[in-house]
Amino acid sequence: MESVGQFMKELAKRTPRQLLSPDEQLDKMFRSSVYLQAFAQEHPELTRDDYMRSLSNVYTAVKEQYWCEHCPGLTECPNLVKGHRTQLDLMKNTIVSAIAPCKKQISHEEELKRRRMMRSYYVSEETMSASFDKLEHDAGNQAAVAAAIQFCNQMGTGERVKGLYLHGSFGVGKSYLMGAIARELSESHIASLLVYVPDFIREMKDSISDQSYVGKLELLKEVPVLILDDIGAENLTPWVRDEILGVILNQRANNYLPTLFTSNYSLEELEEHLSISNGNRIERTKAARIMERIRHFVDVYEILRKNQRLENG
């Protein structure tokens, strides 16, 4: 049986005088297209005249089905509408056509939906691409991984859920685990926001002059799940502590919205970090107030692993 590809190449090479007649084109397509043969078997009531009246639709569908079977990828898709193919249907004994997304286009759209559900500020592509399926786990992070999976399952129930506080040394996979959580939540249509704290704080400071930081704060206060990555690594000031972190965490605690954290610091070390001086005075009370908005709203897990970047690098 000759292929659809050979048929199309033959059409392309012919001069106007050598073009196949409509009858010849239809015969060629029936001989070469498994798709058209299957359509004909589904609709035995159709006559040759029915196909001839819709020859243009038939040709387009056969051609685009061929390209889907030999897919060059979404970006190189030669079909009239990228990522879609023409399919034949029957309406009142007339052959009609409609376009439908291919599997690659559907997967692409699903990925875009997931990305919209898992927004980020300054988070790496590796973290945004994380998933539980690709996550390596061992004795050092097993408890944290189990807690992460349980958190995702509980979020799907609509019940009040405590956040997570993951701490440990550099490169042990804290951020990657948070990325896996965000992806899992997105597949359950639960929105999250991953924020790399040092860069976000830098942006907030740059926004003081025009007050644009106020609108950005609203998103962090209201998103269903907020993930603050690498808290404690930021260049802290009293304003950042009291007007940024304090405001965000207070609002979220009052509305029972879970916040997740990663840090190189334990809770005790983070409290020390937050006790930044204002002038000559160490402000332990203000640090303790913020820690109250963290400590009682998270489950804490220390990840004890070797630096995976060095191990795999």
Q: pLDDT for 10-67, tens place per residue?
A: 655 555 545 788 998 999 999 989 999 999 999 999 999 999 999 999 999 999 999 9
Residue 249 has pLDDT above 80, yes or no: yes
Q: What tokens does 245 get?
A: 């972190």
- Higher-confidence position of 79 and 282: 79
State residue 75's pLDDT score: 87
For 238, half-sphere exposure in the C-beta direction (CA atoms, 13 angstrom radius) is: 10
Tell me what pLDDT residue 208 has.
77
Does the predicted model carry a pTM greater than 0.85? no
pLDDT per position as a tens digit, 56-99: 999 999 999 999 988 888 888 998 899 999 999 999 889 999 99
Amino acid symbol at 184 = E
User: Is residue 299 very low, low, confident or very high in pLDDT (cuts 50, 70, 90)?
Assistant: very high
Say what the pLDDT of residue 306 is.
Answer: 77
Rounded CA-CA distance 201/238 in Å is 12
Distance of CA 294 to the CA centre of its chain: 27
**DSSP string for residues in 197-258:** HHHHHHHHHHTTTTTTHHHHHHHHHHSSEEEEETTT-S---HHIIIIIIHHHHHHHHHTT--
CB-based contact 185:152 (threshold 8 Å): yes
Residue 159 has pLDDT above 60, yes or no: yes
Q: What is the mean pLDDT of residues 187-203?
A: 90
Is residue 199 within 8 Å of 121, Cβ to Cβ? Answer: yes
- Segment 282-286 mean pLDDT: 88
More confident site: 55 or 309? 55
pLDDT confidence band for 313 (50 / 70 / 90): low
Nearest to 145 by CA among 193, 184, 187: 184
**CA distances (Å), origin 140, targets 23, 127, 216:** 71, 19, 36
Q: In the structure, what pLDDT confidence band is assigned to residue 8 with cuts at 50, 70 and 90?
A: low
* Better pLDDT: 133 or 277: 133
**What pLDDT shows up at residue 70?**
87
What's the mean per-residue pLDDT of the chain? Answer: 87
pLDDT of 282 above 90: no
Share of the chain above pLDDT 70, in %: 89
The confidence score (pLDDT) of residue 205 equals 84
Q: Is residue 113 pLDDT above 70, yes or no?
A: no
CA 26 to chain centre: 44
**At residue 9, does pLDDT exceed 70?**
no
Instruction: Name the 3-class secondary structure at 129.
Output: coil
What is the structure's pLDDT at 126?
86
Under the banding of pLDDT at 50, 70 and 90, the label for residue 310 is: low
pLDDT for position 269 = 95
Q: Where are the alpha helices (DSSP H) in 34-189?
A: 34-42, 48-53, 55-69, 103-117, 125-128, 142-155, 174-187
Give the pLDDT confidence score for residue 74 in this predicted structure: 86
- Name the amino acid, one letter, at 135: L
Average pLDDT over residues 294-301: 96
Within a 10 A sphere around the Cβ of 272, how many other Cβ atoms?
Answer: 15
Residue pair 194/119 in contact by the 8 Å Cβ criterion:
yes
Q: Give me the long-range contacts of 132-135 (CB less than 8 A, separation at least 24).
A: 132/180, 132/183, 132/184, 134/180, 135/173, 135/176, 135/177, 135/180
